[in-house]
Amino acid sequence: AQSVTQPDIHITVSEGASLELRCNYSYGATPYLFWYVQSPGQGLQLLLKYFSGDTLVQGIKGFEAEFKRSQSSFNLRKPSVHWSDAAEYFCAVGGDRRGSTLGRLYFGRGTQLTVWP
């Protein structure tokens, strides 16, 4: 069955420091992979997604993620964190590529990012 693991529940970084949020997935075929961000009291906003092709994916707000099939990972990175990046981040894997379940997502439990000024 599909599953997503985000090993870090909470990460604290200083503003201007680099960031890497880890995500590992379990999936029987080539997955669709996503990172979403959620600010307090808000819905989820899509940061970036991977379907195929270049394994380094660029997203919004200066984020990028790299798909590594050999490690079943899709880690999110940002070279220099801004205070406004403080939020909760969710990694998700898409459902089966065939058929009607394609769009359903399996989420990790999230990583809460705190940014020190």
Partner 1 sequence: NAGVTQTPKFQVLKTGQSMTLQCAQDMNHNSMYWYRQDPGMGLRLIYYSASEGTTDKGEVPNGYNVSRLNKREFSLRLESAAPSQTSVYFCASSGVNNRGSTFGSGTRLTVV
Q: How many residues bind partner 1 (CB under 8 A)?
A: 27
Closest distance to partner 1 from the beta carbon of 109 (Å): 4
What tokens appear for 85 in the block?
Answer: 């990046």
39 touching partner 1, by CB under 8 A: no
Taking the least distance from each CB to partner 1, the nearer of 56 and 102 is 102
What tokens appear for 84 in the block?
Answer: 């406004």
Among the candidate windows 16-24, 28-36, 55-63, 73-81, which touches partner 1 by CB under 8 A?
28-36
Residue 3 backbone dihedrals phi, psi, to 5 degrees: -160, 160
Residue 13 carries which DSSP code? Answer: E
Are 47 and 75 contacting, i.e. CB atoms less than 8 angstroms apart?
Answer: no
| Rg (alpha carbons) of the chain, rounded to whole number | 14
Binding site for partner 1 (CB under 8 A): 4, 9, 32, 34, 36, 42-46, 49, 51, 90, 92, 94, 99-110
